[in-house]
Chains A and B, each alone.
Chain A
Amino acid sequence: MKANTNTHIVVIGNGMVGYKFCEKLLAKKKNDQEFMLTVFGEEPRVAYDRVHLSEYFAGKTADDLTMASKEWYDQHGIRLFLSDPVVDIDTEEKLVRSHHGHVVHYDYLIMATGSGAFVPSIPGVEKDGVFVYRTIEDLELIQSYARKAKRGAVLGGGLLGLEAAKALLDLGLEEAHVVEFASRLMPRQIDDAGSKILQNQLESLGLNIHLAKSTQEIIGDDCIKGMQFNDNSFLDVDMLVISAGIRPRDELAKIAGLETHPRGGIIVDNALRTSDPYIFAIGECALAHHMIYGLIAPGYEMADVVASALTGVDKEFLPYDMSTKLKLIGTDVASFGDPFVEEPACKTIRYENKAKGIYKRINVSPDGKELLGGILVGDAEQYNMLLQTCKNKTILPPDSEDLILGSRGGEEAGGGVMSLPDDALICSCEAITKGMLCKEVGEKGHNTIDLLKKSCKAGTGCGGCVPLVKDIIQGVMKQNGQYIKTVICEHFDHSRQELLDLVKMNGLKTYGEVLNEFGHGDGCEVCKPLVASVLASLWNENVLTKDRAPIQDSNDRYLANIQKGGTYSVVPRIPGGEITPDKLIVIGQVAKKYNLYTKITGGQRIDLFGAHVNDLPLIWEELIDAGFESGHAYGKALRTVKSCVGSTWCRFGVQDSVSFAIEIEDRYKGIRAPHKFKSAVSGCIRECAEAQSKDFGIIATEKGWNLYVCGNGGSKPQHAQLLASDVDKETCIKLIDRFLMFYIKTADPLTRTATWLNKMDGGLSYLKAVVVDDLLGLASAFEEEMQALINNYKCEWKEVVDSPELRKRYNHFVNVPDKDPTIAFEEMRTQKRAKEWV
């Protein structure tokens, strides 16, 4: 819907939501839009903050609570009529008539009439000394009556009732009582056990709580003298505040013939339109999704939805999360999600500490994977974290009680970077310590890699510290209580895992499609390689075809490792480190022909350095002819599966480690992951292949194989941990399939398996539960997805060599066949080396 120029909008109701609507409409108004706004309010005051009404008794003035002054309405050309409720609406002629006789035409009418206090029909409610708790006028009346009263009661033990009870205490009454019909306090938010703890806290502050009390009659002549209950008990009070709920103000809507609900509320659709398309209803008078939203946040959201619609942006009002956290007379109370769901629909975990006045309850789905809801009384520190876990359906760690109790010894889920001392050197290129980074992030607010690169140059050198720096940013933000969603970069508001799922579900295969569907802007050096990796991990198509060549990172772009000086190195695959003399000779011949420096790598293969980009296809042509394949030394993919010689030659060996290593390397070659991954197979317990330093390592036993995972050499060495012992080959491979797919699908970008595990909630026991015990029920899917990747494997270098189109890109210049004339070498130990850079 788009409003025409000079649209007349009338707002009925000048409460918080009515005011918020005006504010949002002005903010969203586009240059070519003109609105004539007229607001009618029943109360004599401009809109004020009703949520903090009880602060009026704690010394705040009516002015303090005001949302915006009368001048604000003048400045923005809004006509404001106070103490002048609308009494009639002519929907045919689109006119409203006010109590004082103002008749105003509207194009669109906004009903923001709010709610009134619900007063139950108890005999005697009309007596003097009985009040409702809704407006500043109500408060003024309560205040003046309280001067001569000694004992006060509040009818209603909900949120507002408890606020009112506190107000009575603040007003200096000798006794303050809370009378609740239900068997617990705040029955809509907390359960019996939580109520008991809250009751203890409130009683210790001097409130008297009466639960399960049904009031029969209010006793007294003209003035209230007491309350008579159904159970024949009697409460001696000289004033009463009724706070038994709200009643939507829908009487005007009824007069106008708008559809209302028998139990109250103006019925609206998802766009908040009433049964008349030119009339909207927002706030507590509106019945959306079959309910009245009696909180301010959904009211504001409704104001936003209608303001958007009138300025030409269609938006829906979605069922709103009613989770709340508040401080009630010094006691934290929070409830989120579904706080009341009972077994067997959930598993409930409760923690109660009467001495400290703390009660916590969480409801976990029967399979233990999801947080359904919960209640916190006395200590709501974890509220935000729990709410996010619940809303985002984050998969829970196996010991979900840790969510409310914290980890209690045993297996810590990795200390992480935040446990490092302040003087730990993080960026060694720029000599920046953890302490310096914490300061940059915490005090100066430099909380992105780019900001840090600019402010202190961290990560601008070799870039190796960037993942650690990111962890520090997150760690500091977490300590400061900021919620962090790990987004990829400015072009994608998703985490890698989310994007992978989206790309998979939508079957996207090019970067352009992914950016168009799920991103914005033109991409960058962060999201391009990430999407490239996701596409490769999902479909395993050649990384240089379609639009994918220019999105590959430096090495993948040319399927070779760029080295100092701009030449490349070449690593043919030598599975398990086993090679024939003939193949060795070919490597030697190729190295000689193209003048390449040769070196045995740490992974039992041979690296050929100093190749001009123009020579790469020629070099590979010869290697492929001799039966070699790409070694993927340039990719975030399986590197090498190192092996010891094993039982075929070694007198100690108990299994044939070389054969198994070759089988493993052939199985997983070419599969791309969030980071490179390495493996090794040792033929006996002596562990000569150093399998426990690999992403997955296999060690032979007398009975079969032990599988270790998430080890790492590199800058922060970490031993791999035992995932399964004495398994046969087939089982071992199945477990590796699942382990790798779980890693590929869930790890953050450029995160090795060791770091991935360190960050995983629940650590190794959770990993085991997923991979070995199939906690998530995904094992067979993981195996199938892995098999699909394996089936799709082709040597990508062979594809390049065979394609003139792809070969064409292997030239330094696009206009002449020359090699880069600036490349220079120096001699060292009869071979060449790259010239040192200045």
Chain B
Amino acid sequence: MATPIIMPRQGQSVESCILVEWLVDVGGAVDVGTAVASIETDKAVFEVESPASGTLVARFFEAGDDIPVLMNIAAVGAPGEDTSALKPDAAGGTVPAEAAAPVAIEAVAPVAATTSPAAVASEKPIGISPRARKAAAARGVNAEILAGSGPGGRVIERDVQAAAAGQPRLSAAARDVATASGLTVPSQGSGLGGMVLAADLGRAAAAPTTAVPAAPSGEPTVVPLAGIRKLIASKMRASLATTAQLTLNMSFDATVILAYRAKIKEQGESMGLPNITINDIVAYATVQVLRVSPQINACFHGDKTLQYPYVNLGIATDTPRGLMVPVIHGADQLSLSELSEVAKPLLKNCQTGNIMPDFLKGGTFTITNMGMLGVESFTPVLNVPEVAILGVGGLLLKPVMKNGEVKHVQSINLSLTIDHQVVDGAPGARFLKMLCTSLENFELTLAQ
């Protein structure tokens, strides 16, 4: 009997993925671990591996289809084998990407929930020890997709610790092959986020740099629009096409936060504080002001604005794969040092590609900092559907007239882009003013 290839679940909250392209034609030979298709969530692109060797005898979907997770997308078997039993029920249907309104996806999801898990469960139940679950929850690791090193492949605590420490994750196929063959597992794989694929087993660690696009060498290189770049492109276009963007600039006297930062550098370690950066300080102050600015801490959905009672702060970050926006969920519940500690691994995981899709969504407001690149002021592009985004510029000496004397003070420019559809210039300006004040009096902000 033919073996189904299923749409894998990538992260707890991912209900469906878009099939970007088929990598193997019908009739093509595949091995365990051969990449047969590339798929994308709304945040990332990755590959689906074959769980069996043989011939790709059927493909049940076309490129561009939005497919519920855990659904059969193709079948591997002997040439000519009947695969009709594996074909997803036509009525359970799939929706072309173009028509994939969120509502439609939700309507499809229950079908997947009732039909697919049984098939998966009978294939290979993956146990997770209660202790591993607890550790995973505490450390923000998705234990469901970890390769277990316990008896029978059970995910145990040390697997979570390893994952949390940035060690590689294994794809399901790689896990099976590794268990059966005993091939060594490299510390870094060639899959998304360094995931070790079946093909990586037995190889030396793939250098992380291989994932970085090659730098131009004088000759123009054709870089096809694909994967995450494609995603960024469509989001940026959508942002500019669907919103009315207006950017306001204001600068603040950075003397206080610079002094504070210097103090932390000097004495913070002895008090057990993390290395708190200017970025952390600006983010913290922003979060505090957002708590009292419901109009700014909001998302616009065409016919309504959702104002949030919490702050999920996105931090735009440049990565080898392109722009990524990891989100600190519940940032309003964190102290300055906690915020700093939570932000660091998220940013690092974006750099290494280990970030889980769950941490790339759900933001209510975004900060983007170009100051370290020497940018003084810029017009950030809205991260839709959020209604505002804050750009942070670099340090600048600014002449200030005080008591008839001109003095130069260290200042930083803040650029707030708002969606003028739902936020007017004045409330945007008030928000900026409040933020500048709170940064200029940061010790008072901390006391709040």
Same complex origin of A and B: no
Instruction: Give residues in A with beta carbon < 8 Å to B.
Output: none
